[in-house]
Amino acid sequence: MRFESEGILGVLDSTKELSDSFGRIAKKLRISITDRCNMRCIYCMPFNNTKWLSQKSILTYEQITYLAEIFASLGIEKIKITGGEPLVRVDIISLIKSLSSIKGINSISMTTNGILLKDRVAGLKEAGLESINISLDTFNRTRFKSISGIDGLDIVLESIKSAVSQNLRVKINTVIIRDWNDDEISEFVEFSKKTGCPVKFIEFMPLDGTKIWSENLVVSKDEMIDKINNDFGKLSPLDNDKADPARLYRFDNGNATIGFIPSITKPFCQDCDRVRITAEGKLHTCLFEKKNYDLKALLDKGKSDKEIQEYIRNCILEKPEGIIKIIKNHSLEPGINNMYSIGG
């Protein structure tokens, strides 16, 4: 394969960073390795007639590793593996091993729904996975099936226990939707207190294949904090990394760490340091932009390492302001992008 023989780390210029026109520097890369999923969550997947990508059209693990090497040479330091559901793709452990060996990459993490995780935790950790975000939106079995389309609550809870027992850093991602699960906020705080796993409450975003999103369904960060303060006592903000989408808090007398991702009510676009590659090799510089850039086409055409590197730099320069501009223009609407296809 071309990148194995060229010795990419030796030929690429690692002195230039991925800076956009707003002065933001990309440090984190999210790679979706499949659009397929074993759930049908209402805030992500279409109800029916999902058209999966052809397996021939998605990036191979070798191509993913090659692109990750290029991004690392351009200053990317952290990689998160996403989907769809990444664990539905076979032999993912081999990919984690390859990515964790890349010079300059100091963190490999993954987002998963947890259904296929329990028996793979040890192998993933041994391969180099350092942390894992597990999606969990309710503790009610009936509600879990209503939100996700499957009866899988017990499986996810067992996967969380398994990951914690293997000393992986486990974070819980919880999308809060008004009148669906906003009455369980306090239960998730109790869960964080009990397990020590940080819980990140995510405002419902218009990235749903069902196109049910509306502003009325968004429970704001401020509203959630008021609820938690009333039930548990005051949350105190931690010293947050400005580029981290989650704003973290703790209780003065408790072990729970609670995060909020307020993409709708308090966008953090000015500090964004993330870019994304979809399973079919499309580069998205913003989760909320339709425009994308076809990296796989460059690979298929046999473009040189330096040509791909320069192309990526130019793409990053085109990175838009973000959802904050869409909100200012009052143009938020359901289904801006499909989360399952672009990667979270």
DSSP letters along 151-215, please?
--HHHHHHHHHHHHHTT-EEEEEEEEBTTTTGGGHHHHHHHHHHH---EEEEE--S--TT----G
Q: Rounded to two decimals, what is the model's pTM?
A: 0.93
What's the rounded Cα separation, in Å, for the pair 196 and 172? 10
What is the per-residue pLDDT for 344? Answer: 67
127-137 per-position pLDDT tens digit: 999 999 999 99
66-78 per-position pLDDT tens digit: 999 999 999 999 9
- Whose tokens are 């609670």? That residue is 258
Contacts 24+ apart (CB under 8 A), 4-9: 6/305, 8/66, 8/69, 8/70, 8/73, 8/305, 9/69, 9/73, 9/103
140-158 per-position pLDDT tens digit: 999 999 999 999 999 999 9
Banded model confidence at residue 290, pLDDT cuts 50, 70, 90:
confident
Of residues 289 and 188, which shows the higher confidence score?
A: 188
Banded model confidence at residue 245, pLDDT cuts 50, 70, 90:
confident
DSSP letters along 63-114, please?
HHHHHHHHHHHTT--EEEEESS-GGGSTTHHHHHHHHHTSTT--EEEEEE-S
Q: Is the pLDDT of residue 1 over 70?
A: no
> Among residues 136, 146, 177, 134, which one has the least CA distance to residue 47?
146
21-61 per-position pLDDT tens digit: 999 999 999 999 999 999 989 888 776 657 788 889 999 99
CATH of domain 16-342: 3.20.20.70
